[in-house]
Structure formats: C-alpha cells, structure tokens
Amino acid sequence: MTRKAARLICLLACGAALLILQSFVLQYLFRQQEKEPVQHISPIWEVIKDVTGAAEQSGFPLFVLDQNALQCFAEKPSLADRSSCSSALREQTVVQFGSLGQFASQKEEDFTALLLKAGYRTSRLAVPNPRVLAHGLEVLIPTNYFVTLGDLTLHIVVFHERPGNFWWHAAAAETDRGDSNGTGGLWSAASAPTSELRYLRRGGAYDKVEILPLDLGGGVRTFAPARPEAFLEEQPFVECNATRARAFHDQHGRDESPEAELFRLKVHGLLAKVQRLLDHLGVPFWISSGTCLGFYRQCDVIPYTTDVDIGIFIRDYKPDMVSLFSTHDLPLTHLFGKVEDSYELSFRDRDVKLDV
C-alpha cells in the first residue's frame, strides 16, 4: 500500500468517526429539546405563561405567591436554582400570584384587555379604602383579581401599603364589590379550595420585602419575593371598625390637642419598638386593657391615659426580655406576682408606662 493510499484511508476513517460522533451528539440534543417542552407543558402552565406575558407587556406588577412554589423557593436560596420550582405549579388547577395596589390600579385596564383578547375571563373584587373610610369617604380599591379559562384559575392577591410600613391584603367578604369581564359570573370565595382560604377568608399583614426578577423557564419571566418565607406563615390582620369609631367620635369628639397628638406618636413609637424587640426573642404579644379598648372602640389611642398595655402568654415569656428592654431604653420599674400566678411587669419609656 502506498503512503498516499494510507493517508486517504486514515482520513476516511477519521471522517467516519467524526460523523458517528456527530450523530450521537445530535441525537442527544434532539432528545433534550424534546424533553424541555414536555417539562413545562401543562394546562395551568399555559395560563401562567399568558398572564405573566400580559403583565410584562402592560407593566402590571406580578409576583409568585403560590405556597407550593414559595416553599420550594425557600429551600433554594440561589435565584439561579429556582427555575426548577416551576414543577410545583404545573399539576394545579388554581395558582396564586401577588400584586401591589398602588401600581395595579394604574395598569389594570391594559392588563385585563390583553387577557380578554386572548380568550380569558377576568373578575375583580374591591373594597372601600380603609385609610379614608374613617373620614367618611368611600373610595374603592382592588383586592383580588381572578383570571379563568375553563376550570383553571390564576388568583391575584393585591397588597396595599399601610401606615406602619407593611403590606396589607383584604379578606374576600360576601359584601365585596365585584365586576366581571368575559362570560360567566363572578368568582365565589365559597368555591375556593382550602389552600386558598388564607388569602380569601381573612385579611393579612406582611412585612414589606424586596421583589426580584425570576425566570421560571419555559418562556415564563416574572418576579418573586427575595424572602419567600415571609409569606409562608399566615399573618392575620384585624381591621378596626371605622363606622363604629366615626359614631364614637361624632358623639364624644376627638381630642386633637397638641398634647394628645404627641401622646399618640409616643404610643405608636413604643409599640413599634416593643414589636421589634419581642420579634427578636420570638415572643408573640397582643394589645390589652385600655390600649385594646381604644383600638376597638375608636380606632385610636385613648389620649387621656398614660400607659400602654400588652399581654403575653406565660409559656412564651423569656427572662431575657427584661435585659433586652433595659438595653433599649425601657427599664423595668415594677414587678408584681409570680411567674406561676398573676405575673406583671412595668417598664418606662420616658413619660409613657408599658404594662406587660
């Protein structure tokens, strides 16, 4: 065999080997491409894709709120790993997202128009804004949106910022004002599955958190809480009765003297400090006695009192509370009773007394 023929055979053998290798690589890539769409295709996934696409196009704020997905997010601190959590959404018929009220109202019309054009039905629930209801004004704000296609529903819970720097969402009561676009009637809170009831049956209050972009894969780009654990535990919110408070103030008046307004500021500041310190210790508490009476009767502090009252279950009490309060300018002034019977502590915040 001549050297030229040997070279030719060697080149042919190398070419054949490369072709075989290339065929294996192409088969692998084709298998991966076939698997990828299957991973994301499900009826509810198509709804999620359409709704998040409409939100992105219209500027409507939207972030993942579904408990299954948030639990998965909490177990994956890295944003890059959270795309795998999309599997937590695909087998459901109802999924939940959140929105922010101050922006949702502005973009609502464009957002719902895009969904109606795509064949979806949209419903909205609204309640009077509690921030102005106490002044006798009734201004409706959105609380829930429902985007439906057949038996599939994407539920959007609307969070509104409240004084105190927290997010609040309203309960979906039977008296809510609602409207519907498309065919069919309004969504009924009574028809919601058990997992949805925490956002529909009662109002809630949550710490404000950062909302970050998230790519769930499969063409779905949306947002998610930076701290998903903030929404995993239910945080019920008790709204004061503005109608009852207005009736009380109409009959007895409201003390708006500089001294009363200053006392209100001091009480709010003290309660905020107490909440921060007790949260640090993991100790739950509630307002009690005159402080609780002022809230329920007049949505306010009773201005002629000089103290703040809170209660704590004795099983939650921690001795570290005294030293922690003292190092934050809340020295202990009195101690009554025993831990096992009628235990009461009094602290002093300048000229305001705190009874625990």
Print pLDDT tens along the chain (356 aa): 566 666 666 666 666 666 676 766 556 555 654 444 444 468 899 999 999 999 999 999 999 999 999 999 998 877 777 778 888 888 889 999 999 998 998 999 999 999 999 999 999 999 998 888 777 788 899 999 999 999 999 999 999 999 878 999 998 864 455 566 654 444 454 455 545 567 888 899 998 999 999 998 888 999 999 999 999 888 889 888 888 998 999 999 999 999 999 999 999 999 999 999 999 999 999 999 999 999 999 999 999 888 999 999 999 999 999 999 999 999 999 999 998 889 999 999 989 999 99
CA distances from 40 to 71, 91, 97 (A): 19, 11, 18
What CATH class has 242-355? alpha beta
Give the per-residue pLDDT at 34.
Answer: 46
Decide if 139 contacts 129 (C-beta within 8 A).
yes
pTM of the model: 0.77
Strand partners, 145: 124, 156
Backbone angles phi, psi at 8, to 5 degrees: -65, -45
3-class SS of residue 291? helix
Sheet holding 286-287, edge to edge: 286-287, 307-311, 352-355, 341-349, 332-338
3-class SS of residue 207? strand
Alpha helix segments (H runs only) across 41-158: 43-58, 67-74, 87-90, 101-117, 130-133
Decide if 180 contacts 122 (C-beta within 8 A).
yes
Decide if 230 contacts 63 (C-beta within 8 A).
no
Give the per-residue pLDDT at 102.
Answer: 84
Distance CA 346, CA 228 (A): 37
Give the per-residue pLDDT at 151.
Answer: 92
Helix (H) or strand (E) holding 28: helix 3-40
Give the per-residue pLDDT at 112.
Answer: 96
The half-sphere exposure of 316 on its side-chain side, counting CA atoms within 13 A, is 13
Distance CA 13, CA 187 (A): 69
Distance CA 155, CA 143 (A): 11
Helix (H) or strand (E) holding 121: strand 121-128
Give the per-residue pLDDT at 6.
Answer: 62
Give the per-residue pLDDT at 179.
Answer: 67
**Which residues have C-beta within 8 Å of that of residue 353, sequence separation ≥ 6?**
306, 307, 308, 333, 346, 347
What are the b/e assignments for 245-279, b being 16+ CB within 10 Å?
Answer: bbebeeeeeebeeeebeebbebbeebbebbeebbe
Q: What is the DSSP string of 232-277?
A: TS--B-----HHHHHHHHHHH----SHHHHHHHHHHHHHHHHHHHH
Degrees to nearest 5, angle at CA 201 with 196 and 206: 80
Decide if 184 contacts 125 (C-beta within 8 A).
no
Angle between helices 101-117 and 43-58 (to 10 degrees): 120
Distance CA 288, CA 274 (A): 14
Q: Could you tell me the residue ranges of all domains in the chain?
A: 43-231, 242-355
Decide if 95 contacts 66 (C-beta within 8 A).
yes
Q: What is the largest CA-CA distance in the chain?
A: 117
**Which residues have C-beta within 8 Å of that of residue 316, sequence separation ≥ 6?**
283, 284
Give the per-residue pLDDT at 348.
Answer: 95
Strand partners, 308: 354
Q: At 314, which amino acid appears? A: I
Decide if 128 contacts 239 (C-beta within 8 A).
no
Distance CA 172, CA 332 (A): 43
